[in-house]
Structure 1
Amino acid sequence: MDKVEQAYQEALQVLRGCASPLGLKASSLGSGYPQVWARDAPITALGALMTGDEELIQAVRVSLETLGAHQSALGMIPLNVDTRTGEVTTENAGAIDANMWFVLGHFAYHQTTGDAAFLRAAWPRLQAALTWLAYQDMNGCGLLEAPEAADWADLYSTRYNTLYANALYVGTLEAAAQLSAALDSASGEGQQLREQAADVRRKINLLLWLDRPWNGHEFGQQLEELRAMRLEWFFLYQNTATLTEKPFYLSWAGFREFGNTFDGFGNMLAILFGVADSEQTSSILDYAHAAGTDDPAPLKAFFPPIYPGERDWREHFRSRNLNLPDQYHNGGIWPFLGGFYVLTLQQVGMRGRAEEALHSLALANEKGRTRPWEFNEWLHGRSGRPMGHPLQAWSAGMYVCAYQAVRLGKIPALPLNLHSTQLGGQIPSFEP
C-alpha cells in the first residue's frame, strides 16, 4: 500500500474517532479540542460526506443540529460547543466565518443526502444566520467587515474587508441560493442571493486584486468606477496602486491601508467560488508553488511571515510561542489547507501537480510528535515538523476530500464555480 492510500485509511480512523453524541469533535484526542466547532465540523464534513459512511454522515447532521440549537437571538452561530458539558465558548465569540460555514455545512449535507425535511426545518435558522451576516456589512459597501482575529486566523492581524471572509461569503450566498431553490421558494430570494454573490465577486476584484492598467485612460476609468462605487475605496486605491500589480489577492483592505501577504485559504476559496477568472487562477497557483507556500508541505496559512517590528506584528503573537515567524498562522503549514490546495489544483485541471501535492500532504499527515499518522493541526513552515494538536478532524477530513477528488474523480458538495483554461470551461457544481 502506497503512502497516499495508507493515509486515506488512517484518515478514516481519525474521523470515526471524532464522532460524538453532539457531532464531530475537532480532535479525536480527549484533551485536544473536544468541541464541535462551527468551522471545523463543516470543513471536516466535506470529506466525511464523501465516504458514504452512515456513522460519519449522521455525525455531520448532529453537528449542524448542535450548532443550530445554540444560535443567538440575533442569528449568530457559536464558535464552538463543548461535547463534555454542552457549554458555548465566549472566547473569540462572534467569529465572522462561523455563520458561513454553518450555511455551507447544510448545503453539503443536503447535496449529499437530499433530506428535504431536514433542510426545511433548518431554513429559519439559515435565514437568521444570513441576516446576522448582512449586518456585518456595517457601512453598506456590500462587503463584510471584521475586526482582527475574527475568523479562522484567530491570532492573526488581518482585518476589515478580508479576502478570506468575503470569498467565503460568495460561496455562502451561492449555497443559500441553491438551498432556497431546493425548497421551491417562490419569494425570489434565490435570485437575490445570486445577484448579491455576483456583486461581492465584483467588489473583491476591484478592491483586492491589483492589476493597474498601463493605459492612462483605462486607469482613469478604473479610478472613476471605484469613486462611483465608494469614495473611501478611491482614496484607498491611491495607496494600493503603488504596488502596480500582484500575482494574488491582497489579504485585506482597511482604512487607507492593506495587507500585502499571500492568504493561502482566501486565495484558494477565491478560485473555488469563481471570484478569480482563469488568468487570475493561473497567476495565484503559479505564485503559490514558485514562492514555496506548498513546501515542505501544503499549505502555508500566510506568506511571507510577519516579523517583530513590522506594522502588522502583534505582541500577542508570542503567546504560547504560537505565532512566531514560520509558525501557526504566521507562515505555519496547515494540512487542512493543504487539502483545499490539492482540491483546487485538481478542479482547475492541474492534475499532475494535484497528485504531487496529495503525496506531499500524505507524508505531512504521517508525521507525528509522539506517533505516526498524527494528522497534526499545523507544522513548522520551514522544518515541516508537527507542532500542533494531533488527530485533527479537519486535517483528516480534507485529506479524504483531496484523495476522493484526485484518485476517484469525485467533486465535494461545495457550490463550486471554477474557471479553467485547461479543462475548457466551468466545472459542474456537484457530483454525488
Structure 2
Amino acid sequence: MNSYQYAIQLLHDVSTDKGFLASANDISNYRRIWARDGVICGLAALLDGDKKLVATCKATLQTLADHQHYLGNIPSNVFYDEPKTILSFGGLAGRVDTIPWFIIGLCNYAHFTGDIDFAKAHLEHINRGLNLMEAWEFNHNHLMYVPRSGNWADEYITEGYILYDQLLRLWALRCFDKLFPNEVIHRKANRIQQKVTENYRKHKIKNDPYHPKAFSRMRKKDYWVASFNPSGYQKQYDAFANSLALFLDIDSEGFENELIAYSETLRKSLALKLLPAFWPPIKEGDIEWSMLENNRKYEFRNVPYEFHNGGTWQMVNGFYGLGLLVHNKVNEAKDVLTQIDLLNEKESWSFYENFNTETSEPTGVPHCAWSAAGAVILGQSLQGKKLLS
C-alpha cells in the first residue's frame, strides 16, 4: 500500500457505529469520540468520499449533537462504557473549540453529501452553539474570551482572546452562512474578521485597537500573534492559527506573503521540515515556564520541543498545507505532504500523534487518527477538492 492507503486504512480502523475514535490503540482516553479529532477525521472522509467513512462522519456528528449540553456546549469527548455513557466537556477548563468544529463538520457534511435535511434537523444545535459563543464574548465586542486550557492546546499557556478560536468561529459562521444564507450571520462573520485583522499584528488600523496599551507596545512580527488578554499579548507563533488564517484568506493587505515567507523559513530550518505547534519553545528559566509546568492534571508533557511546546504535529501541518494551496503555493504544499508522510511512516506506519522537533523522535499516542486525517485532507486538496469555508 502507499502512504494514502495506509492513512485511509487507519481511519477505517478507528471507525465505529458511534463515530471516529481518536486512536486505534486502547491508550488513556483515546478510545472515545472526540469532537475536534472526530470532525477532522470526518473532513478527511468527506474529501475522500469512502462511503463507510462518510457514514462514520455522520455518526460522529450525531453523537456530538445527542450529547450537547442544554446551554450549547459540545462535549470534548463521549465515552461509551456500556451501559453507561460518560461525557467530558473539558478537564481543568471547559473546551471552547468543540462548538465551531461541530458546526464546521455538520455544514461540510451537508455540503459534500447534499443531505441538507440532516443539517436542518440540527439547526437548534447549531443555534445553541452560536448563541453560547456569542455569550463567551462577555463584553459583546466580537472576540470570544477563552480560558487557559480551553482548546486543543489544553496544557499550553495561551489564554484570553486566542487567535485560533476566533478563526475557528469565523470558519463556522462562514460555513453556516453558505449553507443557510443569513444577513445577521454574514455581518457577524465580517465583524469578527475585522477584529482579527486589526488586533493580531502590528500595523496601522482605522479603528481603536481592542487593547490600546498592549497594542502600542507590540513589536512587528511576520505572523499573527497567538493571543492577548488584559495583561498584554502572548506573541508566540501558533502554527494552527496561522494556518487557519491562510486557509480562510483573512487578509487583504498582502500580509500573507510575509506570513508564508516566515513560515517556510521556519519550517525549512528544522530537522523535520514541518512547522512546530508553537514557537519558540518555552524553556526552564523563561518567565512563562512556571505557568506551563503547572498547567497539567497528571504528567508533564510540554518539555521543550515536545507536545504543544514546540512539538511537531502532522495534523497541524495538514492544515498549513491547505493554507498554502489557497495562496497557490502548490510545490510547498506538496513538500509539506511528503514530510507528513515520512513521519506517519515511522515504525511501520505508526501514525504517531506528534514528534520531538529537536530529536525527531516520536512522542504521543501511536495510530493517532488525525495524523492520518491531516495527510488525507491535504492529499485530496492537492487533487483539487475543497472544504466549505
1:237 aligns with 2:215: yes
- Aligned residues of 1:367 and 1:373 also touching (Cα < 8 A): yes
Instruction: String of CA shifts for 1:123-170, please: whole Å, max 9, x gaps.
Output: 111111111111110112210111111000000011100110111111
CA displacement at 1:48 relative to structure 2: 1.1
Which residue identity is paired with 1:414?
L
Mapped partners of 1:146, 1:79: distance in 2 = 15
Q: Do structure 1's residue 349 and structure 2's residue 325 form an aligned pair?
A: no
The DSSP-based 3-state class of the residue aligned with 1:258 is strand
Matches within 5 A, 1:138-287: 138-181=138-181, 190-211=182-203, 222=205, 225-226=207-208, 233-240=211-218, 243=219, 245-277=220-252, 279-287=254-262
Q: Which residue of 2 aligns with 1:52?
A: 49
Could you tell me which amino acid in structure 1 is paired with residue 103 of structure 2? V
1:90 Cα offset (Å):
4.9
Amino acid at match of 2:234: G
Q: How big is the shift at 1:340?
A: 0.8
| Distance across 2 between alignment mates of 1:128 and 1:297 | 41
Other-structure match for 1:409: 384
Secondary structure in structure 1 of the residue aligned to 2:188: helix
Alpha-carbon deviation of 1:297? 3.8
* Mapped partners of 1:96, 1:321: distance in 2: 23
Q: Is the 8 A contact 1:328 1:379 kept in 2?
A: yes
Shift in Å, 1:278 = 6.2
Q: Which of these residues, 369, 374, 384, is aligned with residue 393 of structure 1?
A: 369
SS in 2 for 1:401: helix
- Specify whether residues 316 and 293 from structure 1 end up closer, same or farther in structure 2 by C-alpha distance, changes over 3 A only: farther
3-state SS of the aligned residue for 2:64? helix
Equivalent position to 1:307, from 274, 283, 306: 283
Contact 1:261 1:302 survives alignment (8 Å): yes
- Correspondences of 1:62-73 after superposition (within 5 Å): 62-73=59-70
1:107 equivalent in alignment to 2:107: yes
- C-alpha spacing 1:297/1:374, structure 2 compared with 1 (3 Å): farther
How far did residue 294 of structure 1 move? Answer: 7.6
Q: 2:354 aligns with which of 372, 375, 378?
A: 378
Partners of 1:42 and 1:125 in 2: CA distance: 16
Q: How far apart are the structure 1 equivalents of 2:253 and 2:244?
A: 14
Of 15-24 and 85-94, deviating more is 85-94
Q: What's the counterpart of residue 425 of structure 1?
A: none
TM-score under structure 2 length normalisation: 0.93
Indicate which of 354, 357, 362 corresponds to 2:341: 362
Deviation of the 1:293 alpha carbon: 7.1
Distance 1:152 1:57, change over 3 A: same
Amino acid at match of 2:229: G
Q: Which residue of 2 aligns with 1:219?
A: none
Contact 2:134 2:140 in 1 (8 A): no
For residues 215 and 234 of structure 2, what CA distance do their matches in structure 1 show?
Answer: 13
Deviation by residue 1:87-129 (Cα, 9 ceiling, x = unmatched): 1025425201000100001011011111122111111111111
Contact preservation (8 Å) 2:27, 2:365 = no
The CA deviation string for residues 150-207 of structure 1, in whole angstroms up to 9 with x for no partner, is: 00000001110011011111111111212223xxxxxxxx111111111111111211
How many Å separate the matches in 2 of 1:118 and 1:10? 30
Residue in 1 aligned with 2:11? 15
Give, in angstroms, the shift of residue 329 of structure 1: 0.2
1:38 to 1:266, Cα distance in 2 relative to 1, 3 A = same
- Confirm or deny: 8 A CA contact 1:18 1:393 kept in the other structure: yes
Match of 1:260, SS? strand
Report if aligned partners of 1:297, 1:361 keep a CA contact under 8 Å in 2: no
Q: Deviations over 1:322-343 (max 9, x none)?
A: 1011010000000101111122
The residue that corresponds to 1:119 in the other structure is: 119
| 1:317 CA drift (Å) | 5.8
Separation in structure 2 between the aligned mates of residue 391 and residue 57 of structure 1, nearest angstrom: 20
Q: Aligned partner of 2:188: which letter?
A: Q
Deviations 1:241-290 (A, max 9, x none): xx1x1100110011141111100000111111122336211111111121
The more displaced of 95-104 and 114-123 is 114-123
8 Å Cα contact 1:336/1:396 also seen in 2:
yes
Equivalent position SS for 1:81: strand
Bigger-Rg structure (1/2): 1
**Amino acid corresponding to residue 379 of structure 2 in structure 1:** Y
Code of the aligned partner of 1:35: R
Residue of structure 1 in register with 2:98 after alignment: 98
